[in-house]
Amino acid sequence: MYETRGKYIPERMMEPIERYIKHGVIPGSFLQGVICNNLKEAFMMADDENFENLAAYVGYFHNEVPSNAWGSNKRMLQWAEDGGLKGGE
């Protein structure tokens, strides 16, 4: 689990995030909104728990994820095409 400023990413959400980072597997709509920096989409697709903790996702991606893996739809699709971190091995 990732926590910052009293907000957190639920443990159940870390698996799809890690799959995306490591292998480039594109996750569901909520996480796609986060990854693409489309916070409107993320808010619309979030369940109650994720809605309340969206700031933790922004902090995690900003602080922990390679910058070329997130920030726009183009970057997300390229990261997926490249196979994530493991694609370079």
Taking the domains of the chain in order of start, what are their residue ranges? 2-84
Is residue 74 packed enough to be buried (19+ CB in 10 Å), middle (13-18) or exposed (0-12)?
Answer: exposed
Tell whether the model's pLDDT for residue 22 goes beyond 80.
Answer: yes
User: Using one digit for the tens of pLDDT, what is the confidence trace for 25-41?
Assistant: 999 999 999 999 999 99
33-58 average pLDDT score: 97
Determine how many CB atoms are found less than 10 A away from the CB of residue 80. 17
57-70 average pLDDT score: 97
- Reported pTM: 0.92
Tell whether the model's pLDDT for residue 88 goes beyond 70.
Answer: no
Closest CA to 64 of 6, 7, 11, 4: 4
9-29 average pLDDT score: 98
